[in-house]
Structure 1
Amino acid sequence: MNRTLPDTSQHSPVPPVTGMSLAARLAILLFVVIALRHLDNWIRFLTGWPLPSLGNVAYTLIFSGFALLHSGVSLGRYRTLAFFAISAVVSWLLEEVGVATGWVYGHYHYSNMLGPKLGLVPAIIPLAWFMMIYPSWVVASALLGLAARDTSTGIVSRAVVASMVMTAWDAVMDPGMSRAGNWVWENGGAYFGVPLHNYAGWLATTFIVYLLFGIVSRRIRPDAAHAAQTRVFSALPAICYAMVAIDHLIAQTIPELRVVDVFTMGFITLLALIGIARQARDNVPV
């Protein structure tokens, strides 16, 4: 006698994809390229050898590609799409307002070094924001551990911590990038030529992005691209954050910023890696 089984497809979670997907392999490949770029930069700075190097635009494209692929594997396609869309729209809008008025970050404008512009802002800037936003979100998740779960408290906590993690990145990046001519602070500023207003703007921008994504992601069901990951793969964005911290320590053109780097990005990296190791020891699910 044939018996019809009940249809539970609408109620069962999507099963994780087993094995390493093409997206995961591509993410690892781009991670290797990023690591080689940093190694090249360190060797060139320490030895003076005229090694070839990636420019800022190529580096941003590769790093943002890694962030998108890693997020797609770890969070799923739809959550990644939402994350990137929120990041791109919020960052571009606030940058446009910022350049036009000076209200968000202080009075500044972009040079032509970062390529063609969309309005007043280089088209690559939304990619650059996500390049930094996603690894900082992963680092914040490692710092918070179980407290970063998708509860209301967890969403707000992660938004606060992640925005501070990312602003720490800008604290060691912005002075050098502006001195190199990528953008110009029209009235200078108290922090190595950068106005303190800028960092309040970074905190506000990133907090809005992280908070909106936290709220939206709770309503998005994981899709088939959301696969179970190894701890090493899950930690790759945090390792990228660590490499950036080392980069600013070794190849920093403003010597005083090395101290800032150690006690901001360096300290954050140390705590994040300890958190990742502790979760591995306690067998906390990735």
Structure 2
Amino acid sequence: MSPTTHTRPVTRRRPAVRPSWQAVPWVLGAGVVGVQIAFPLTGGGTPALTVLAVALFAAASVSHALLTRGPAAAVGLVVVAGGGGLLVEAVGLATGVPFGEYRYTGSLGAEVLGVPVVVPLAWTMMAYPSLVVGRRLAAALGRGRGAVTVLGAWALATWDVFLDPQMVEAGHWYWLEPWPTLPGVPGIPVSNFAGWLLVALLMIAALDRVVPAPHEGDDRLPLTLWCWTFLSSTMAAAVFFGRPSVALVGGVLMGLVGVPLLVVLRRHGART
């Protein structure tokens, strides 16, 4: 080789994720849908089905964050959403703040600090897609982090309008003073929704700083799971569980971000 010959510098790239591993979150997500479809067939879901659905959904969210954003993002998601969810639930049980006074019945299995382990998993499973929803809508509006926090928090908090009536009816927890209620959602105090919104604002703001944009792949899975949750929860409350007022209120509140999201996804697709 001539001494004047130059070679191009070698560029080191982040190792690509194997295609087989990329399928893992989708397989878990498919499991979520399958298990949730079984809920109406069992009168609202058994404790085992409830725990399984949450565990699969949480695993789908964490594995997707890991494969698309890296280990630090996955750890950050678990610490902020899982750890934060456990902390706020423990405080809520002890003080009644910020949700109101409630008690778990012990039907959801193992507990930490009086909180069923499945509960912080539920915060984790839904906080991640809600963050992605907030980012997608904020980007479509040309807005920054403040909009991500507000939109993502609304996407997370409004889900509980469906969740709480279902879990109370199934006997997993109960309220000591379930009034004043959120209009159209009997038996659930309005303080619960206010507390969820406050916690969601803090949680999404923190996640927006520790969970970056994807390095590999795209966000179709979390967007799909959030949209599935929105649409299936509305239909289940209206058709299968006999709660038309919950379907109306929850559908409208969750739809404030759900409908614009569906429009954005239809126009621009779900890829980042």
Normalised-by-shorter TM-score class: 0.7 to 0.9
Please show how residues 31-110 of structure 1 align to structure 2 within 5 Å. Answer: 31-42=29-40, 44=41, 55-110=49-104
Matches of 2:238 and 2:78 in 1, distance apart?
29
Please show how residues 1-286 of structure 1 align to structure 2 within 5 Å. Answer: 1=3, 14-15=13-14, 17=16, 20-22=19-21, 24-42=22-40, 44=41, 55-147=49-141, 154-191=144-181, 192-217=186-211, 226-229=215-218, 232-233=220-221, 235-241=223-229, 242-266=231-255, 268-280=257-269, 286=272
Per the normalisation by structure 1, the TM-score is: 0.79
Say what the alpha-carbon RMSD is for the aligned residues. 3.0
- Assess if the C-alpha contact under 8 Å between 2:61 and 2:129 holds in 1: yes
CA drift of 1:3 comes to: 5.4
Relative contact order: is structure 1 or structure 2 higher (C-alpha 8 Å, sep ≥ 6)?
Answer: 1
Between 101-110 and 72-81, report the one with greater CA deviation: 72-81
* Aligned residue identity for 1:271: P
Q: 1:204 to 1:178 in 2, by over 3 A?
A: same
CA drift of 1:140 comes to: 2.3
Matches of 1:175 and 1:189 in 2, distance apart?
14
Q: 1:119 to 1:233 in 2, by over 3 A?
A: closer
Matches of 2:61 and 2:23 in 1, distance apart?
13
Matches of 1:211 and 1:232 in 2, distance apart?
22
Q: 1:18 to 1:91 in 2, by over 3 A?
A: closer
**DSSP 3-state at the match of 1:193:** strand
- Assess if the C-alpha contact under 8 Å between 1:35 and 1:243 holds in 2: no
Q: 1:18 to 1:30 in 2, by over 3 A?
A: closer
CA drift of 1:190 comes to: 2.5
In structure 1, runs of 5+ residues without a counterpart are none
* Aligned residue identity for 2:151: V
- Assess if the C-alpha contact under 8 Å between 2:234 and 2:248 holds in 1: no
CA drift of 1:36 comes to: 2.0
Q: 1:8 to 1:39 in 2, by over 3 A?
A: closer
Q: 1:246 to 1:135 in 2, by over 3 A?
A: farther
**DSSP 3-state at the match of 2:100:** coil
Q: Runs of 4 or more off by more than 4 Å in structure 1?
A: 2-9, 51-54, 231-234
In structure 2, runs of 5+ residues without a counterpart are none
* Aligned residue identity for 1:33: G
Per the normalisation by structure 2, the TM-score is: 0.83
Matches of 1:137 and 1:232 in 2, distance apart?
13
